[in-house]
Structure 1
Amino acid sequence: MIEQQGKPNKKEYYITDNGRSKLKEWIEDEKPSEPIFRDEFIIKIYSSWLSGPETTITLLKERQHFTEELEKLKNDQDADFTDYQKGYSSRYYLLSRRLAIINIELEWTDRLLKSLLAQMTGSANK
């Protein structure tokens, strides 16, 4: 058990020697399957023509809030990036990928919101 300040304590798990061997074998010998992306938010945005711009704006603002919260978590994780220097490069790779995705999501929702709001106020260029 790892005690933490301001957060619930967390359990720490370890991989067995047999598990480590199987994992290494899997990483080295098996080709990864094609990624499957299931994002209910994207499906709702795609189908939002049924509901109108107000619903789309609400969905975008909710996603924007969610991604902003994830961005705040980045600040908490900054210390963890030092793990890269301790030999935990795979953790660094995953964290940096996730942060890049969050930044793209924030930029995209911001552009789409601005466009929809401009259309609703009649100030969009046609």
Structure 2
Amino acid sequence: MKIGNEDRMNTLGYAILSVLGRKPCSGYQLASYLELLWPAKHSQIYPLLSKMEQNGLLVFEHVEQTGKPDKKIYSITEKGREALGTWVTTEEPGYPIIRDEFLIKMYSMWTTDENNAKKLIQDRISKLKLKVTLREKKIAKVENEQVETVSEHFGRYVLLHRSNLLDNEEISWCHWVLKLIENSNVIKLLLGIISAGAFNKIVQGVTFFSEL
């Protein structure tokens, strides 16, 4: 299927189609599922859903709820599936851009003291460990569904594993950085002791010669 200019959208749009291709869901649920693929805010998701609906890539149905506002359940259309399939086989231009505020802070550690630097890294480790733990529960749940390479759960399964591998690698890297900082402190301490010892020897030498 050739995608017309009116149907063209950003990567978030294809991520939405990918989620809806697995099962219909609300905009709120979409935001949760997209965390694994392409994190986005509700303010980004809802306007795009409206545009995609107008272009025939998805449809929705109103679901009445008691005691709270009605919600829309979105599902992918045949046109949406064809657009997604075409995009999947399109060559990716260049390399993906990864933006992570933590990396800038690490690069700028020289502006703070060692205690703050260590806290920054330790906080990162705690957050990563929590993410890994929660993800492991999701992996176990998918494994119980007997994942096959042709199933709709396979992509989610391998991406969950990929995310855990990357996060565990970063946890190891964070511990390595902490060890560098601690070793640096030990070296500074040893140099301080050596310097103090050398100073004492100088003082002792001056005192010895002055008594001659």
* Residues 1:49 and 2:144 aligned together: no
Q: Which has the larger radius of gyration?
A: 2
One-letter code aligned to 1:116: I
Q: Greater RCO between the two (CA within 8 Å, min separation 6)?
A: 1
| Greater Cα offset, 74-83 or 58-67 | 74-83
Structure 2, unaligned runs of 5 or more: 1-23, 31-72, 192-212
Identity in percent: 26
Equivalent residue, structure 1, for 2:134:
73
- Per-residue deviation at 1:75? 2.8
Question: Per-residue deviation at 1:104?
Answer: 0.4
TM-score using structure 1 length: 0.78
1:40 pairs, out of 73, 97, 101, with 101
- Aligned residue in 2 for 1:23: 84
Query: 1:72 and 1:13 mapped to 2: Cα distance?
Result: 30
Q: Give 1:26 shift.
A: 0.9
Greater share of strand residues, 1 or 2? 2
Change (3 A) 1:48 1:82: same
Q: What is the DSSP-based 3-state SS (H/G/I as helix, E as strand, rest coil) of the residue aligned with 2:91?
A: coil
CA distance in 1, matches of 2:143, 2:166: 17
Change (3 A) 1:36 1:119: same
C-alpha spacing 1:75/1:97, structure 2 compared with 1 (3 Å): closer
Kept after mapping to 2: 8 A contact 1:60/1:109: yes
Count of aligned residue pairs for this structure pair: 119
TM-score w.r.t. the length of structure 2 is 0.49
Where in structure 1 are there 5+ consecutive unaligned residues?
Answer: 3-8
Cα RMSD for the two superposed structures: 2.9
What's the CA shift for 1:119? 2.3
Distance in structure 1 (CA, Å) of the matches to 2:162 and 2:190:
35
3-state SS of paired residue (1:31): coil
Q: Deviations over 1:5-41 (max 9, x none)?
A: xxxx95775322111110001112x212320011110
2:162 is the alignment partner of 1:97: yes
Partner of 1:118: 183
CA contact (8 A) 1:115 1:124 kept: no
